[in-house]
Chain A
Amino acid sequence: MKPFNILILILVATISILLISPYLGLNSSTNPEIQQHILTQLRIPRILFAFIAGAGLAVCGMVFQAMFRNPLATPFTLGVASGASLGAALYVFLGFSFSIMSIDGSTFAAFLGSLIAISFVYSISRLRSGFSTETLLLTGVAISFFFSSLILFTQYLSNVSDSFQILRWLMGSLTTVGYRDVLQLLPFVSVCIAVILWLSRELNLLMAGDDIALSRGLAVQKTRYLLFFVTSLCVGAIVALCGPIGFIGMMVPHICRLLIGNDHHWLTPATLLFGGCFLIICDTIARLIIAPAEIPVGVITTLLGGPFFLWLLIKSRNKSF
């Protein structure tokens, strides 16, 4: 099947999911007014938020896979999400409270955290020539551990309610979002995705490796820094608002690569749509599985992602793209 047709199919599926999912789990016996309120004030913003966050995480994962030429490299596995979490946790712990142009300070803290983590991973992986899968992932694991222990430390020092707040948030949850959060997230994710769509050709070249990319005339370093910057911004914004929702950035782009191929002209829009839908589906499951209670959506994605990660690790050992 042609990439174009696959993309159309994904688009149709996306629209159906966006239309159907708000109505799942609505209790028809309650008062229609309450139902209406739940639908417009809780469900719809939550689903919009899930779509934007899922799309952002999936596309950032796709960019990392292309840049590091490794299907296991994602913001989550390389510790960038932990960096963002630490930034946001410190923001809560230190009792900061500011906003710039109505954007909450935690977003900036998380952005800084992810930028620091990404510079760590990148410079460590550059110390020895070539990114072997093992070095790269171990660097990511080490950085995750490091940031996680700092997060635990801040939690330990916090009071009980702050600590509980941090814990719930670390599990990755979409429970409390409203339209305000949707508007907070949208500019970051759309700018990031716009830049990435604009750089499709560049991403294709990066996937071919530095030597080929340079010999085709790509200013590799500059492109890489730009991509690091926008993905940090995107991951930071998402993590600040809903916690580190794991593994979407690995599973979704990988499945899309299998469906549509590695040309980023097609892959980016497919990943974007599929990522959005994927998080909506996971969130719907999280919402319904033990209804009326909910579980954090991060638990669902990680439960799916763990085995997927192992499968990829075994399958792709010593083999880049």
Chain B
Amino acid sequence: MNGILNVQQLNVEVASKKLISDISFGLDQGDYLCILGPNGAGKSTLLKALMGIVKTASGDITLNQQSVSQLSQKQLAQHISYVPQAHGRQLNFNVADFIKMGRFPYHSAFSDWTSTDKQAMDRAIDITNISDFLSRQMQTLSGGESQRVMIAAALCQQTPLLLLDEPTSFLDPHHQVEVHQLIRQLNQQHNISIIEVSHDLNHAAHHSKHILALKNGKTLWYGQSVELLQSSHLQDLYDQQFVFTPHPQTGAMVALPCELSNDVS
């Protein structure tokens, strides 16, 4: 495979507990991969392993045919950026200062802020449309604003690959749509490859290119997103019945979870 990212037989153990076993997948430039799975399946751990936040026990991760074990953390951050699960509003920083930190991978201790840095920052601010609250404190932002700032900070790193951990989970429907639109725009207009951990099945099925479904740290299913709603994958994945029905507005098939038949007494 000639992709930008290639993961072979990845295993992750934390405190001798196996969180990820033998996961393999690849990504081409401009791909959009969604990782689905029940809580505790190892989705976030997988992203963290890619970002070098958790150590891998065995397996290979290669970026442009180069093993990540040969890259320093700084070099890795020039290839991959990461938006962690929502905690932007717990950070006590000024928005502009926080976005500026995204240029860290390109700096050594004594290097100055250059026009390249400024351009990268302006561009990130422009794409995410956050110029109105640059001088505010992170803690004063709304959920949607905070998520746009987190994405802007990652964009500032100018990486070909962006990892997002449940970027819309805590947002209201309007902001979910807004953030997803932004992610699609990054993917389609700016040719940034995306890996997104998500619980939004219908979004994943219709807007991503590939889906990796994880359960108990193992790959349950990996394939083209359009196939997700055409089989029993969902039921196996979540141990939950789904019904499928065309969206009244778009006509696209959507999955809805069934009511539980045997109630807990």
Contacts and interface: CB of A to CB of B under 8 A. Distances in A.
Interface residues of B, number: 32
B207 to A, nearest CB: 24
B241 interface: no
Interface string B52-85: 1100000000000000000011111110111010
16 contacts: A201-B101, A201-B107, A211-B48, A211-B51, A211-B82, A212-B84, A212-B91, A214-B51, A214-B73, A215-B53, A216-B101, A217-B75, A217-B77, A217-B78, A218-B104, A320-B90
Nearest to A211: B84
Contacts, number: 77
Interface in B170-200: none
A261 B139 CA distance: 13
B242 interface: no
Interface string A238-264: 000000000000000000000001110
A280 interface: no
Interface in A198-215: 198-199, 201, 204-205, 207-212, 214-215
Given A211-B48, A263-B97, A217 B105 contact: yes
Contacts of A220: 73
A310 interface: no
A224 to B, nearest CB: 13
A321 interface: yes
Contacts of A209: 87, 91
A80 B92 CA distance: 26
Contact of B77 (A204, A208, A216, A320): A216
A219 interface: yes
B74 A214 contact: no
Nearest to A199: B109
B102 interface: yes
Given A198-B109, A208-B93, A212-B84, A219 B101 contact: no
A263 B109 CA distance: 16
B107 A261 contact: no
Nearest to A217: B77
A321 B98 CA distance: 14
A75 B90 CA distance: 24
A208 B81 contact: no
B157 interface: yes
Contacts of B52: 214
Interface string B109-131: 11000000000000000000000
A215 B91 contact: no
Contact of A214 (B53, B91, B92, B94): B53
A211 B102 CA distance: 13
A217 B48 contact: no
Contacts of B78: 217
Given A198-B109, A210-B53, A205 B93 contact: no
